[in-house]
Amino acid sequence: MSETDAEMIEHLSRLAVDAGLAILVVREAGIDVALKSDDTPVTQADRRAEAIILEGLAANWPEIPVVAEEAVCDGRCPERTEGRFFLVDALDGTREFVSGRHDFTVNIALVEDGTPVVGVVYAPMRGTLWAAAGDKAWTAELASDGSLGERKGLGCRAWHMPPCIVASKSHRTAETDQFIAGFEGATTSSIGSSLKFCLLAEGEADLYPRFGPTMEWDTAAGDAVLRAAGGLTVTRDGVPLAYGKKNIPGKADFSNPFFIAASREGLGRLRSVPDLGGGEPRE
């Protein structure tokens, strides 16, 4: 990790924690929910947290474009995202947040030439942060004084068979269930938000299939952590998931195809599993 990356991680970690604290203030006061044009929920917590992050990014890296979920939904998106840009989901897992569950996160990622190279994921209710830059990934707990405690390195575990599979709690699809059914004896865990990537990076799970719609801001930060911990996220054709996707016929800008996340060893084992193939996802 370069000195520049280390400095960026420090700033991004602080922004994520500050955004998380703002989310918890809203949670304590009571949540007002509205529906966006795509019928997904949004709360004042989403907007307050995003404002904190956008202000911090503009102060520290005014030259780097930012693609943030609520800004994009409001029609504010940078014209150019070639090279380097930030992806921000200030409250990933809004459905979990609204339902009173704990598995929602704050996500900030830096993308370079289509690859997430720096990422921070913070879970406010857990007080846990996961971060990565380059090939270094770590996690830390938030102390009572607001500082981050001891940093512990992350690494994907050796492939288990039958595997432990993590899947979406609020967006499970029949195709995902069919894929999971192909692993006899597999254990499954349903959890919301980008925490699924973090469980893979921690070595607590083996496989995360997502055969349902996601956006790049949902996945970039967790994907960065997973890649630095020895994993990868690929399309069903085995191609690494790319970021900055725009102007694709029939697809919304920054939308993801179906994907599978696992350790690199696990993805190698999956080459013999028929369900990994299938060409373009049937969305």
Neighbours of 237 (CB within 10 A): 12
Q: What does the DSSP 8-state code read for residue 79?
A: S
- Whether 159 is covered by a domain: the verdict is no
- Whether 230 is covered by a domain: the verdict is yes
94 touches 50 (CB < 8 A): no
pLDDT at 274: 43
Q: What pLDDT tens digit does each residue of the chain (283 aa) get?
A: 565 778 899 999 999 999 999 999 999 888 888 877 676 788 899 999 999 999 999 999 999 999 999 999 999 999 999 899 999 999 999 889 988 889 999 999 999 999 999 999 999 999 999 999 989 999 999 998 889 999 999 999 998 889 999 988 767 788 888 888 889 999 999 898 999 999 999 999 999 999 999 999 999 999 999 999 999 999 988 899 999 999 999 999 999 999 999 999 999 888 654 455 443 333 3
263 touches 200 (CB < 8 A): yes
pLDDT at 170: 66
Domain end call among 153, 178, 205: 153
Question: What is the Cα gyration radius of the chain?
Answer: 18
Instruction: Kindly state whether residues 20 and 149 are assigned to the same domain.
Output: yes
pLDDT at 76: 95
Instruction: Kindly state whether residues 39 and 77 are assigned to the same domain.
Output: yes
Residue with tokens 């004042």: 44
CATH label of the domain that carries residue 21? 3.30.540.10
pLDDT at 231: 97
pLDDT at 8: 94
- Whether 123 is covered by a domain: the verdict is yes
Domain end call among 105, 128, 153: 153
- Whether 158 is covered by a domain: the verdict is no
pTM summary value: 0.92
Please count the structural domains in the chain: 2
Neighbours of 252 (CB within 10 A): 13
- Whether 268 is covered by a domain: the verdict is yes
Domain end call among 153, 174, 191: 153
- Whether 258 is covered by a domain: the verdict is yes
- Whether 122 is covered by a domain: the verdict is yes
Instruction: Kindly state whether residues 242 and 128 are assigned to the same domain.
Output: no
Instruction: Kindly state whether residues 82 and 173 are assigned to the same domain.
Output: no
pLDDT at 282: 34
If we measure between CA atoms, which residue out of 262, 50, 246 comes closest to residue 157?
Answer: 262
Range of the domain at 207: 164-276
SS3 233: strand
If we measure between CA atoms, which residue out of 50, 53, 114, 36 comes closest to residue 82?
Answer: 114
Q: Is 232 left (phi over 0), alpha (psi -120 to 50) or beta?
A: beta
- Whether 177 is covered by a domain: the verdict is yes
pLDDT at 6: 81
Residue type at 76 in one-letter notation: R
C-alpha span between 118 and 2 (Å, rounded): 11
Buried b (16+ CB within 10 A) or exposed e, 182-200: ebeebeeeebbbbbbbbbb
pLDDT at 277: 45
pLDDT at 263: 95
Instruction: Kindly state whether residues 44 and 148 are assigned to the same domain.
Output: yes
